[in-house]
A and B are shown apart, each in its own frame.
Chain A
Amino acid sequence: MMHILPATVIVAGFLALAASMKRHQRDLLGRLLTHVQTRSTRMAGWFLLGIGWAVNAALLGPAMGTIVWCGELSLGAALTVTTLNWRTRRPSR
């Protein structure tokens, strides 16, 4: 249960990072973002990943928090890849 809050933040962070990449913008948002929007989305993504670390560190201490954060980063990124796949596959069928 401890993982749900930070993991959600991390998934949101990765989704924002994906949305800041041109090749994923159409799939995720249905349109291309402007240069400024892209930059702020990227910053928001990194910021959320950082928040994920802070939440873990606050809950579990810096050492354990960092270990758990690494695991959640992998899981969060994997969930993001799955989401992207799911969103790109449907319209083409």
Chain B
Amino acid sequence: MKDSLRQSMALFHTWSGLLLGWLLFAMFATGTAAYFQDEITRWMQPEVTGDADPATAAQGAMRYLNSVAPDAKSWYISLPNSRSATTQVYWQPSGERPAKRVETSALLDRGGHAITSRETRGGFFLYRFHFDLHYMPVLWARYLVGVAAMFMLVAILSGVITHKKIFADFFMLRFGKGQRSWLDAHNVTAVLALPFHLMITFTGLVTLASMYMPWGIAANYAEQTAFSEAVFGRSAETVPSGRHAPLADLGPLVRNASARWNDERVGYISIANPNDAAALIEMSRAPEAAFGARGQTATFEGATGRAIGTHQATGSALATESVMIGLHTGRFAEWGLRWLYFLSGLGGTVMVGSGLVLWTVKRRARLSDPSCPHLGFRIVERLNIAAIAGLATGIAVYFLANRLLPLEMVDRAEREIDSLFLAWLGIGLWGILRPAGRAWTEALAIAGACFAAIPLANAMTTSRGLLPSLLAGDWTFVAFDLVMLVLAAGFLLAAVRSAQLRTKAKAGAKPRGANRRATSA
């Protein structure tokens, strides 16, 4: 009975893990990078230095928006947090014409001047890719990501049942033993950060739960806007009066809101009908101030700056959701905890990657003719190369493109993103065209070389290379370059190992793992 449960779970674990494993790998890798999205953005905008004060930034953003879109329907200002130095603004133009994103958004420095040089989406792109993917409608992407996360949850739970020695093997990591080593790596990365994996997968689903399961809201509210109004106190649509009235200064209002929240930072400002007598300003507390992602909001009359009131979404369900999203995104984490988040995420990435490789390693031993595997095997093998080495190379090339593309290039930010996917595609094709064993070695070596090239490109194209940053005590830049070097070393080591294994196999050794009965999945 017990064994049959284990066997069915093994089957379940193998296939739920494999089917969307490649997507999960990409989600884990980019999600892990997203814990440092502000630091990545800083590195990708080396011209921007120093910290920004929210009140000054808000005032600057207002100056900018008054000059480009004084009669917009609404403005949105995302203020710098304690780790970033730039302000992101969006606006909804007054005309009916739908506008492209690049025409209605801008990235500002702390004085409110648009940053036009070295246009980039920085770490924010990796963060959005984590759940919005790219080159496809956001809605589809989020459903796909949701299905993948659900599979992940299933794979984690069935995995704990399947790997019967997961706790007995808690500390076991044996190198150079073929399949056994892959299983060890998979087990160890899974079990060591098991609380993190469970938390991150479950809370990941919660972040988009009301999209995946809209029926609760649909059954109780006629429209989504009625729900947000009731719960978040947001007025669905304020009607402009048509009378012009200049907007009150935002700087003092930011300080006012901040003072209400024990001097916590304001994170986000939305303004309906700016420069109209009926303008309304809503400020939200920065998410870094507490576990809960949904903080308090304070509302002000736009023309007079008079405070209307503060609002905090109440109710235990909302508080739970808010804390779960907060736990997932880790915005509250100070640097020590942030590194723990990052390392756990890296562990998760390795867990998914080693699981994918394990699928082929286990089956290679049982192939009737290892030199000519069946189609399914070949597909998985090639997709593994594309997913693991391909994405790694893509991310490295994204950073390289940021340093190497001409600074004043048109649509530069988009070209950086295209570089990522071109490199990814390139490695994918390489994996198809070359013999699988060689393709692994070569693709891993390319990934390693690209990561190693990043600190070099940084030192040659900016004045903030590793050495000057070290001397200046600029730890963000130092850490970024060092992480790139560690990744480079990791990938190059993997390339060397895979080359060694190939020569060993060629020397007439028995196929790896052939003499070992598969102990568990």
Contacts and interface: CB of A to CB of B under 8 A. Distances in A.
Say if A and B assemble together.
Answer: yes
Given A21-B171, A80-B171, A74 B347 contact: yes
A84 B195 contact: no
Nearest to A68: B337
B196 A84 contact: no
Contacts of B170: 17-18, 21, 77
Contacts of B172: 23, 81
Nearest to B191: A77
A70 interface: yes
B336 A63 contact: no
B422 interface: no
B196 A70 contact: yes
A24 B168 CA distance: 11
Interface of B is mostly: helix
Contact of A74 (B173, B192, B336): B192
Contacts of A14: 171
Interface residues of A, number: 26
Interface in A1-22: 1-3, 14, 17-18, 21
A81 B196 contact: no
A43 interface: no
A63 B291 contact: yes
Contact of B171 (A1, A24, A71): A24
A67 B344 contact: no
Given A71-B196, A73-B195, A74-B347, A81 B171 contact: yes
Contacts of A63: 291
A67 B326 CA distance: 12
A3 B336 contact: yes
Contact of B173 (A3, A68, A81): A81
Nearest to A85: B173
B79 to A, nearest CB: 24
Given A2-B336, A81-B188, A81-B192, A75 B171 contact: no
A74 B342 CA distance: 12
A68 B338 CA distance: 10
- Main secondary structure, interface of A, reads helix
A5 B220 CA distance: 50
B192 A68 contact: no
B195 A18 contact: no
A21 to B, nearest CB: 7
B327 interface: yes
A4 to B, nearest CB: 9
B343 A75 contact: yes
B192 A71 contact: no
Contacts of B340: 3, 68, 71-72, 74-75
B300 interface: no
Nearest to A69: B195
B327 A67 contact: yes
A84 B171 contact: yes
A89 to B, nearest CB: 8
Contacts of A71: 196, 337, 340-341, 343-344
Contacts of A21: 168, 170-171
Nearest to A60: B337
Contacts of B195: 70, 73-74
Given A3-B336, A67-B337, A74 B344 contact: yes
Contacts of A68: 336-337, 340
Interface of B: 168, 170-173, 175, 188, 191-193, 195-196, 199, 291, 327, 336-337, 340-341, 343-344, 347
29 contacts: A1-B336, A17-B170, A21-B168, A21-B170, A21-B171, A23-B172, A67-B327, A68-B336, A68-B337, A68-B340, A70-B196, A71-B196, A71-B337, A71-B340, A71-B343, A74-B193, A74-B195, A74-B196, A74-B347, A75-B340, A75-B343, A77-B171, A77-B192, A78-B343, A78-B347, A81-B171, A81-B173, A81-B192, A89-B175
